Protein backbone atom coordinates (compact mmCIF):
# COMPACT_ATOMS: atom_id res chain seq x y z
CA UNK A 1 0.00 0.00 0.00
CA UNK A 2 1.18 3.46 -0.87
CA UNK A 3 1.10 5.69 2.22
CA UNK A 4 -0.55 9.06 2.33
CA UNK A 5 2.68 11.00 2.43
CA UNK A 6 4.06 9.30 -0.66
CA UNK A 7 0.77 9.79 -2.38
CA UNK A 8 0.74 13.51 -1.62
CA UNK A 9 4.34 13.81 -2.72
CA UNK A 10 3.51 12.08 -5.99
CA UNK A 11 0.51 14.29 -6.49
CA UNK A 12 2.47 17.48 -5.98
CA UNK A 13 5.08 16.29 -8.45
CA UNK A 14 2.53 15.55 -11.13
CA UNK A 15 2.10 18.97 -12.75
CA UNK A 16 5.87 19.04 -13.31
CA UNK A 17 5.58 15.90 -15.35
CA UNK A 18 3.25 17.75 -17.66
CA UNK A 19 0.50 15.18 -17.48
CA UNK A 20 -0.22 12.44 -19.93
CA UNK A 21 -2.40 12.13 -22.93
CA UNK A 22 -5.51 10.35 -21.77
CA UNK A 23 -7.74 8.17 -23.89
CA UNK A 24 -6.67 7.01 -27.29
CA UNK A 25 -2.99 7.76 -27.36
CA UNK A 26 -2.59 4.97 -29.91
CA UNK A 27 -4.60 6.86 -32.46
CA UNK A 28 -3.29 10.34 -31.99
CA UNK A 29 -5.45 13.39 -32.43
CA UNK A 30 -6.40 12.99 -36.03
CA UNK A 31 -8.18 9.67 -35.66
CA UNK A 32 -10.45 10.84 -32.90
CA UNK A 33 -13.70 12.75 -33.05
CA UNK A 34 -16.32 13.27 -30.42
CA UNK A 35 -13.97 12.38 -27.60
CA UNK A 36 -12.65 15.50 -25.97
CA UNK A 37 -10.34 13.61 -23.67
CA UNK A 38 -8.17 12.55 -26.56
CA UNK A 39 -7.54 16.11 -27.71
CA UNK A 40 -6.35 17.49 -24.42
CA UNK A 41 -3.56 16.93 -21.97
CA UNK A 42 -4.90 15.57 -18.73
CA UNK A 43 -3.49 14.07 -15.62
CA UNK A 44 -3.78 10.34 -16.25
CA UNK A 45 -5.96 9.31 -13.32
CA UNK A 46 -6.82 5.87 -14.68
CA UNK A 47 -3.17 5.01 -15.11
CA UNK A 48 -2.33 6.34 -11.64
CA UNK A 49 -5.09 4.23 -10.18
CA UNK A 50 -4.13 1.18 -12.16
CA UNK A 51 -7.54 1.02 -13.87
CA UNK A 52 -7.23 -0.11 -17.48
CA UNK A 53 -9.04 1.74 -20.22
CA UNK A 54 -10.19 -0.21 -23.27
CA UNK A 55 -11.60 -0.04 -26.75
CA UNK A 56 -15.34 -0.53 -26.47
CA UNK A 57 -16.30 -2.99 -29.20
CA UNK A 58 -19.27 -4.16 -27.11
CA UNK A 59 -21.83 -1.34 -27.00
CA UNK A 60 -23.57 0.74 -24.34
CA UNK A 61 -23.06 -1.39 -21.23
CA UNK A 62 -23.41 0.11 -17.76
CA UNK A 63 -20.59 -2.08 -16.43
CA UNK A 64 -18.31 -0.72 -19.18
CA UNK A 65 -19.21 2.89 -18.33
CA UNK A 66 -21.73 3.22 -21.14
CA UNK A 67 -20.72 5.71 -23.78
CA UNK A 68 -18.34 8.58 -24.40
CA UNK A 69 -20.06 11.94 -24.22
CA UNK A 70 -19.70 14.36 -27.09
CA UNK A 71 -17.83 17.63 -26.77
CA UNK A 72 -21.01 19.77 -26.51
CA UNK A 73 -22.20 17.69 -23.58
CA UNK A 74 -18.92 17.94 -21.71
CA UNK A 75 -18.90 21.70 -22.31
CA UNK A 76 -22.41 22.00 -20.87
CA UNK A 77 -21.33 20.01 -17.81
CA UNK A 78 -18.25 22.18 -17.30
CA UNK A 79 -20.36 25.31 -17.75
CA UNK A 80 -22.89 24.12 -15.17
CA UNK A 81 -20.19 23.24 -12.67
CA UNK A 82 -19.15 26.88 -12.20
CA UNK A 83 -22.42 28.44 -11.02
CA UNK A 84 -25.24 27.81 -8.56
CA UNK A 85 -28.84 27.54 -9.64
CA UNK A 86 -32.10 26.47 -8.05
CA UNK A 87 -32.55 22.82 -9.02
CA UNK A 88 -36.33 22.99 -9.49
CA UNK A 89 -36.05 26.12 -11.65
CA UNK A 90 -33.49 24.40 -13.84
CA UNK A 91 -35.56 21.20 -14.13
CA UNK A 92 -38.64 23.33 -15.01
CA UNK A 93 -36.89 25.15 -17.84
CA UNK A 94 -34.95 22.16 -19.16
CA UNK A 95 -38.11 20.04 -19.02
CA UNK A 96 -40.00 22.66 -21.03
CA UNK A 97 -37.21 22.83 -23.60
CA UNK A 98 -37.06 19.04 -23.95
CA UNK A 99 -40.85 18.79 -24.28
CA UNK A 100 -40.70 21.40 -27.04
CA UNK A 101 -37.86 19.59 -28.83
CA UNK A 102 -39.63 16.24 -28.61
CA UNK A 103 -43.10 17.61 -29.26
CA UNK A 104 -44.64 16.09 -26.14
CA UNK A 105 -46.61 17.59 -23.23
CA UNK A 106 -43.88 17.49 -20.60
CA UNK A 107 -40.48 16.03 -19.72
CA UNK A 108 -37.99 15.76 -16.91
CA UNK A 109 -34.38 14.65 -16.58
CA UNK A 110 -33.92 11.61 -14.35
CA UNK A 111 -30.91 9.64 -13.14
CA UNK A 112 -31.22 7.11 -15.97
CA UNK A 113 -34.04 5.10 -17.53
CA UNK A 114 -34.33 2.94 -14.42
CA UNK A 115 -34.94 6.03 -12.33
CA UNK A 116 -37.43 7.36 -14.91
CA UNK A 117 -39.45 4.16 -14.43
CA UNK A 118 -39.44 4.42 -10.62
CA UNK A 119 -40.25 8.13 -10.55
CA UNK A 120 -42.92 7.84 -13.23
CA UNK A 121 -44.69 5.10 -11.31
CA UNK A 122 -44.31 6.97 -8.01
CA UNK A 123 -46.04 9.93 -9.65
CA UNK A 124 -48.89 7.77 -10.90
CA UNK A 125 -49.37 6.46 -7.34
CA UNK A 126 -49.15 9.81 -5.53
CA UNK A 127 -50.81 12.11 -8.00
CA UNK A 128 -50.07 15.69 -6.95
CA UNK A 129 -50.20 14.89 -3.21
CA UNK A 130 -46.75 15.02 -1.53
CA UNK A 131 -48.16 13.17 1.51
CA UNK A 132 -48.96 10.20 -0.70
CA UNK A 133 -45.50 10.40 -2.29
CA UNK A 134 -43.98 10.12 1.19
CA UNK A 135 -45.80 6.82 1.76
CA UNK A 136 -43.96 5.05 -1.08
CA UNK A 137 -42.68 2.30 -0.92
CA UNK A 138 -43.77 0.76 2.40
CA UNK A 139 -47.09 2.37 3.35
CA UNK A 140 -49.06 1.96 0.14
CA UNK A 141 -52.05 -0.19 1.16
CA UNK A 142 -54.34 2.83 0.61
CA UNK A 143 -52.81 3.74 -2.75
CA UNK A 144 -53.19 2.00 -6.08
CA UNK A 145 -50.43 -0.55 -5.71
CA UNK A 146 -50.49 -3.02 -8.60
CA UNK A 147 -48.74 -2.80 -11.97
CA UNK A 148 -49.70 -5.11 -14.83
CA UNK A 149 -47.19 -6.26 -17.43
CA UNK A 150 -46.93 -9.04 -20.00
CA UNK A 151 -45.01 -12.11 -18.90
CA UNK A 152 -42.57 -11.83 -21.81
CA UNK A 153 -41.85 -8.21 -20.84
CA UNK A 154 -40.86 -9.10 -17.29
CA UNK A 155 -37.10 -8.51 -17.25
CA UNK A 156 -34.77 -7.61 -14.39
CA UNK A 157 -35.20 -3.88 -14.93
CA UNK A 158 -38.83 -4.29 -13.78
CA UNK A 159 -37.22 -3.98 -10.34
CA UNK A 160 -37.52 -0.24 -11.01
CA UNK A 161 -41.29 -0.72 -10.55
CA UNK A 162 -40.88 -2.86 -7.42
CA UNK A 163 -38.89 0.02 -5.90
CA UNK A 164 -42.28 1.62 -5.31
CA UNK A 165 -43.46 -1.39 -3.29
CA UNK A 166 -46.05 -2.44 -5.87
CA UNK A 167 -47.15 -5.93 -6.77
CA UNK A 168 -46.34 -6.94 -10.35
CA UNK A 169 -49.16 -8.80 -12.04
CA UNK A 170 -48.16 -10.89 -15.08
CA UNK A 171 -50.57 -11.52 -17.94
CA UNK A 172 -50.26 -12.99 -21.43
CA UNK A 173 -53.33 -12.20 -23.53
CA UNK A 174 -55.42 -9.05 -23.97
CA UNK A 175 -58.33 -10.76 -22.19
CA UNK A 176 -56.11 -11.58 -19.21
CA UNK A 177 -54.88 -8.00 -19.20
CA UNK A 178 -58.41 -6.58 -19.06
CA UNK A 179 -59.42 -9.09 -16.40
CA UNK A 180 -56.44 -8.21 -14.24
CA UNK A 181 -57.40 -4.52 -14.09
CA UNK A 182 -59.09 -3.62 -10.81
CA UNK A 183 -59.37 -0.62 -8.51
CA UNK A 184 -55.85 -1.27 -7.17
CA UNK A 185 -54.27 -1.09 -10.63
CA UNK A 186 -51.88 1.85 -10.74
CA UNK A 187 -50.34 1.41 -14.18
CA UNK A 188 -49.76 -0.83 -17.21
CA UNK A 189 -46.08 -1.30 -18.11
CA UNK A 190 -44.72 -2.11 -21.57
CA UNK A 191 -41.19 -3.11 -22.59
CA UNK A 192 -40.52 -1.74 -26.05
CA UNK A 193 -38.05 -4.38 -27.13
CA UNK A 194 -40.42 -7.02 -25.80
CA UNK A 195 -43.06 -6.07 -28.38
CA UNK A 196 -42.33 -8.93 -30.83
CA UNK A 197 -42.64 -11.50 -28.00
CA UNK A 198 -45.83 -10.24 -26.39
CA UNK A 199 -49.41 -11.13 -27.37
CA UNK A 200 -50.63 -7.59 -26.79
CA UNK A 201 -49.07 -5.07 -29.19
CA UNK A 202 -48.74 -1.30 -28.79
CA UNK A 203 -52.10 -0.09 -30.06
CA UNK A 204 -54.19 -2.61 -28.20
CA UNK A 205 -52.18 -2.08 -25.01
CA UNK A 206 -52.64 1.70 -25.13
CA UNK A 207 -56.33 1.31 -26.01
CA UNK A 208 -56.94 -0.98 -23.02
CA UNK A 209 -55.26 1.55 -20.73
CA UNK A 210 -57.42 4.37 -22.06
CA UNK A 211 -60.62 2.31 -21.90
CA UNK A 212 -60.07 1.61 -18.19
CA UNK A 213 -58.52 4.98 -17.34
CA UNK A 214 -55.22 3.40 -16.29
CA UNK A 215 -51.96 5.17 -17.29
CA UNK A 216 -49.53 3.29 -19.55
CA UNK A 217 -45.73 3.47 -19.46
CA UNK A 218 -43.17 2.22 -21.98
CA UNK A 219 -39.48 1.44 -21.37
CA UNK A 220 -37.48 2.51 -24.45
CA UNK A 221 -34.10 2.63 -22.69
CA UNK A 222 -31.81 1.52 -25.52
CA UNK A 223 -34.15 2.35 -28.38
CA UNK A 224 -32.51 5.27 -30.14
CA UNK A 225 -31.49 5.21 -32.93
CA UNK A 226 -33.75 5.69 -34.80
CA UNK A 227 -34.34 9.31 -33.83
CA UNK A 228 -38.07 8.94 -34.59
CA UNK A 229 -38.50 6.79 -31.47
CA UNK A 230 -38.06 9.90 -29.32
CA UNK A 231 -41.39 11.12 -30.74
CA UNK A 232 -43.19 7.93 -31.64
CA UNK A 233 -44.42 6.52 -28.33
CA UNK A 234 -45.83 9.70 -26.79
CA UNK A 235 -47.73 10.19 -30.08
CA UNK A 236 -48.89 6.57 -29.93
CA UNK A 237 -50.63 7.43 -26.67
CA UNK A 238 -48.36 6.08 -23.94
CA UNK A 239 -48.78 8.36 -20.92
CA UNK A 240 -45.16 7.97 -19.84
CA UNK A 241 -42.09 7.17 -21.96
CA UNK A 242 -38.64 6.37 -20.52
CA UNK A 243 -35.23 6.63 -22.23
CA UNK A 244 -31.65 6.19 -21.08
CA UNK A 245 -29.54 9.32 -21.44
CA UNK A 246 -26.26 7.46 -21.59
CA UNK A 247 -26.94 4.96 -24.37
CA UNK A 248 -27.63 6.01 -27.98
CA UNK A 249 -28.16 9.63 -26.92
CA UNK A 250 -24.59 9.68 -25.59
CA UNK A 251 -25.48 11.95 -22.71
CA UNK A 252 -24.33 11.54 -19.11
CA UNK A 253 -24.36 7.86 -18.13
CA UNK A 254 -26.28 8.76 -14.97
CA UNK A 255 -29.06 10.64 -16.76
CA UNK A 256 -32.28 9.68 -18.49
CA UNK A 257 -35.53 11.10 -19.82
CA UNK A 258 -39.08 10.78 -18.57
CA UNK A 259 -41.54 12.11 -21.15
CA UNK A 260 -45.30 12.29 -21.03
CA UNK A 261 -48.46 13.88 -19.70
CA UNK A 262 -48.05 17.17 -17.89
CA UNK A 263 -49.77 16.17 -14.65
CA UNK A 264 -47.91 12.87 -14.48
CA UNK A 265 -44.50 14.50 -14.96
CA UNK A 266 -45.34 17.07 -12.26
CA UNK A 267 -46.42 14.20 -10.00
CA UNK A 268 -43.23 12.23 -10.71
CA UNK A 269 -41.17 15.19 -9.61
CA UNK A 270 -42.83 15.10 -6.19
CA UNK A 271 -40.84 11.89 -5.62
CA UNK A 272 -37.58 13.27 -6.99
CA UNK A 273 -34.72 15.17 -5.36
CA UNK A 274 -34.40 17.78 -3.95
CA UNK A 275 -37.44 16.58 -1.96
CA UNK A 276 -36.13 14.44 0.86
CA UNK A 277 -38.90 12.22 2.17
CA UNK A 278 -39.28 10.38 -1.14
CA UNK A 279 -38.43 7.15 -2.91
CA UNK A 280 -36.39 9.10 -5.45
CA UNK A 281 -34.15 11.16 -3.19
CA UNK A 282 -31.23 8.85 -3.89
CA UNK A 283 -31.69 9.29 -7.64
CA UNK A 284 -30.33 12.79 -7.51
CA UNK A 285 -29.72 14.71 -10.73
CA UNK A 286 -27.65 17.84 -10.31
CA UNK A 287 -27.28 20.79 -12.69
CA UNK A 288 -24.38 19.15 -14.51
CA UNK A 289 -26.34 16.07 -15.61
CA UNK A 290 -29.49 18.10 -16.28
CA UNK A 291 -27.73 20.48 -18.63
CA UNK A 292 -25.53 17.70 -20.04
CA UNK A 293 -28.67 15.73 -20.89
CA UNK A 294 -30.17 18.71 -22.71
CA UNK A 295 -26.97 19.33 -24.65
CA UNK A 296 -26.71 15.66 -25.61
CA UNK A 297 -30.31 15.60 -26.79
CA UNK A 298 -29.86 18.77 -28.86
CA UNK A 299 -26.73 17.31 -30.40
CA UNK A 300 -28.48 14.04 -31.16
CA UNK A 301 -31.48 15.73 -32.78
CA UNK A 302 -29.34 17.85 -35.10
CA UNK A 303 -26.81 15.17 -36.09
CA UNK A 304 -26.41 13.71 -39.55
CA UNK A 305 -27.73 10.26 -38.67
CA UNK A 306 -27.08 8.92 -42.14
CA UNK A 307 -23.43 9.84 -41.82
CA UNK A 308 -23.25 8.18 -38.38
CA UNK A 309 -24.79 5.02 -39.81
CA UNK A 310 -22.40 5.00 -42.76
CA UNK A 311 -19.45 5.29 -40.40
CA UNK A 312 -20.61 2.43 -38.12
CA UNK A 313 -21.46 0.23 -41.09
CA UNK A 314 -18.07 0.83 -42.74
CA UNK A 315 -16.32 -0.04 -39.47
CA UNK A 316 -18.35 -3.22 -39.05
CA UNK A 317 -17.65 -4.22 -42.67
CA UNK A 318 -13.94 -3.72 -42.14
CA UNK A 319 -13.93 -6.02 -39.12
CA UNK A 320 -16.16 -8.50 -40.94
CA UNK A 321 -13.91 -8.67 -43.98
CA UNK A 322 -10.73 -8.95 -41.92
CA UNK A 323 -11.87 -11.75 -39.62
CA UNK A 324 -13.84 -13.63 -42.28
CA UNK A 325 -10.58 -14.06 -44.19
CA UNK A 326 -9.36 -16.48 -41.49
CA UNK A 327 -9.91 -20.14 -42.38
CA UNK A 328 -12.75 -21.62 -40.33
CA UNK A 329 -14.19 -18.25 -39.21
CA UNK A 330 -17.81 -17.23 -39.86
CA UNK A 331 -18.82 -13.56 -39.57
CA UNK A 332 -22.32 -12.25 -39.94
CA UNK A 333 -23.51 -8.63 -40.02
CA UNK A 334 -26.97 -7.94 -38.59
CA UNK A 335 -29.03 -5.06 -37.22
CA UNK A 336 -31.28 -5.73 -34.19
CA UNK A 337 -34.85 -4.63 -34.93
CA UNK A 338 -35.50 -2.82 -31.63
CA UNK A 339 -32.92 -1.81 -28.97
CA UNK A 340 -29.32 -1.24 -30.01
CA UNK A 341 -30.58 -0.83 -33.58
CA UNK A 342 -27.09 -0.44 -35.11
CA UNK A 343 -24.80 -2.44 -37.42
CA UNK A 344 -23.59 -5.41 -35.38
CA UNK A 345 -21.31 -8.38 -36.02
CA UNK A 346 -21.43 -11.95 -34.81
CA UNK A 347 -18.15 -13.84 -35.15
CA UNK A 348 -18.03 -17.60 -34.68
CA UNK A 349 -15.59 -20.30 -35.77
CA UNK A 350 -15.16 -23.99 -36.18
CA UNK A 351 -13.95 -24.89 -32.68
CA UNK A 352 -12.56 -28.20 -33.99
CA UNK A 353 -10.20 -26.19 -36.15
CA UNK A 354 -9.58 -23.21 -33.91
CA UNK A 355 -9.32 -24.66 -30.44
CA UNK A 356 -10.64 -21.77 -28.36
CA UNK A 357 -14.13 -21.02 -27.11
CA UNK A 358 -15.76 -17.60 -27.22
CA UNK A 359 -14.89 -16.76 -23.63
CA UNK A 360 -11.21 -17.59 -24.18
CA UNK A 361 -11.03 -15.29 -27.20
CA UNK A 362 -12.83 -12.53 -25.33
CA UNK A 363 -10.36 -12.89 -22.46
CA UNK A 364 -7.38 -12.62 -24.85
CA UNK A 365 -8.90 -9.47 -26.36
CA UNK A 366 -9.45 -8.04 -22.91
CA UNK A 367 -5.93 -8.85 -21.67
CA UNK A 368 -4.14 -7.55 -24.78
CA UNK A 369 -2.63 -4.14 -25.53
CA UNK A 370 -4.77 -2.18 -26.01
CA UNK A 371 -7.49 -3.97 -24.12
CA UNK A 372 -10.62 -4.64 -26.18
CA UNK A 373 -14.06 -5.42 -24.73
CA UNK A 374 -16.61 -7.48 -26.63
CA UNK A 375 -19.75 -9.39 -25.64
CA UNK A 376 -21.05 -12.83 -26.57
CA UNK A 377 -21.00 -16.36 -25.22
CA UNK A 378 -18.98 -19.55 -25.50
CA UNK A 379 -19.88 -19.92 -29.17
CA UNK A 380 -19.36 -16.42 -30.53
CA UNK A 381 -18.21 -12.82 -30.17
CA UNK A 382 -20.65 -9.93 -30.40
CA UNK A 383 -19.32 -6.64 -31.73
CA UNK A 384 -20.67 -3.16 -32.40
CA UNK A 385 -18.72 -0.13 -33.56
CA UNK A 386 -21.01 2.75 -32.57
CA UNK A 387 -19.26 3.33 -29.23
CA UNK A 388 -15.77 3.18 -30.80
CA UNK A 389 -13.69 6.05 -32.02
CA UNK A 390 -13.03 6.06 -35.76
CA UNK A 391 -9.86 4.12 -36.45
CA UNK A 392 -10.22 1.71 -33.55
CA UNK A 393 -11.99 -0.79 -35.81
CA UNK A 394 -8.62 -1.48 -37.44
CA UNK A 395 -7.06 -2.45 -34.13
CA UNK A 396 -10.08 -4.61 -33.24
CA UNK A 397 -10.07 -6.33 -36.63
CA UNK A 398 -6.38 -7.15 -36.63
CA UNK A 399 -6.39 -8.37 -33.00
CA UNK A 400 -9.29 -10.75 -33.59
CA UNK A 401 -7.66 -12.01 -36.77
CA UNK A 402 -4.37 -12.49 -34.93
CA UNK A 403 -5.96 -14.42 -32.06
CA UNK A 404 -8.07 -16.64 -34.31
CA UNK A 405 -5.12 -17.31 -36.59
CA UNK A 406 -3.06 -18.92 -33.83
CA UNK A 407 -3.80 -22.37 -32.43
CA UNK A 408 -5.05 -23.59 -35.81
CA UNK A 409 -4.66 -27.33 -36.36
C1 LIG B 1 -30.40 -0.03 -19.91
C2 LIG B 1 -31.81 -0.35 -19.64
C3 LIG B 1 -32.47 0.17 -18.52
C4 LIG B 1 -31.75 0.99 -17.50
O5 LIG B 1 -31.35 2.21 -18.03
P6 LIG B 1 -30.36 3.20 -17.26
O7 LIG B 1 -30.36 4.42 -18.11
O8 LIG B 1 -29.04 2.51 -17.18
O9 LIG B 1 -30.93 3.45 -15.91
C10 LIG B 1 -33.81 -0.12 -18.37
N11 LIG B 1 -34.47 -0.87 -19.25
C12 LIG B 1 -33.87 -1.41 -20.34
C13 LIG B 1 -34.66 -2.24 -21.29
C14 LIG B 1 -32.51 -1.18 -20.58
O15 LIG B 1 -31.91 -1.69 -21.64
State pTM to two decimals.
0.91
Percent of the chain topping pLDDT 90: 89
Burial 84-120 (b: 16+ CB within 10 A, else e): eeebeebbeebbeebbebbebebbbbbbbbbbbbbbb
Helix axes 392-405, 305-324, angle to 10 degrees: 20
Contacts of 130-134 with C-beta under 8 Å, sequence gap 24+, read: 130/270, 130/275, 133/267, 133/270, 133/271, 133/275, 133/277, 133/278, 133/279, 134/277, 134/278
**What are the pLDDT digits (tens) for 2-18?**
455 555 455 544 443 33
314 and 298 housed in the same domain = no
CATH code of the domain covering residue 257:
3.40.640.10
Q: Taking 90 as the threshold, does the pLDDT of residue 32 lie above it?
A: no
Atom 8 in ligand 1: residue holding the nearest Cα: 112
Claim to verify: residue 140 and residue 258 sit in the same structural domain: yes
User: Closest ligand 1 atom to the C-alpha of 246?
Assistant: 7
Average pLDDT score over residue span 176-203:
98
For residue 72, pLDDT beyond 60: yes
Residue 191 lies in domain: 85-302
- pLDDT recorded at residue 406: 82
Indicate whether 98 and 243 sit together in one domain: yes
Contact 61 CB / ligand 1 (< 6 Å): no
- Among the candidates 248, 275, 302, a domain finishes at 302
Is ligand 1 within 6 A of the CB of residue 223? Answer: no
Among 222, 249, 254, 336, name the best residue to mutate to test ligand 1's pocket (greatest count of ligand atoms within 8 A of Cβ).
222
- Say yes or no to pLDDT of 336 above 70: yes
The reply to whether 328 and 344 lie within a common domain is yes
In the listed set 237, 270, 302, which residue is the last one of a domain according to the structure?
302
56 within some domain: no
A 10 A CB-CB count for 83 gives 7
* Span from the CA of 99 to the centroid of ligand 1 (angstroms): 21
Name the burial class of residue 385, with classes exposed (0-12), middle (13-18) and buried (19+) by CB atoms within 10 angstroms of its CB.
Answer: buried
Amino acid sequence: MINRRTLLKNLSALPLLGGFIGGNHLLGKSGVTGNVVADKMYRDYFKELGVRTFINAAGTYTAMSGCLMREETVQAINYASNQYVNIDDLQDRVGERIAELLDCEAATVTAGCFSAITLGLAGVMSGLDPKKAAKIPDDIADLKNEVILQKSHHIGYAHALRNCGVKLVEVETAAELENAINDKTAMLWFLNYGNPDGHVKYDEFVAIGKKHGVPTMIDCAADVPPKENLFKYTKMGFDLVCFSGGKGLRGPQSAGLLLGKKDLIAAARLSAAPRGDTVGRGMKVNKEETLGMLAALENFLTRDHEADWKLWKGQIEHIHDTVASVDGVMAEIHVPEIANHVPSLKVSWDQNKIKMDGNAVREKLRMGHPSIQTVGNNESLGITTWMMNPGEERIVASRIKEILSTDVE
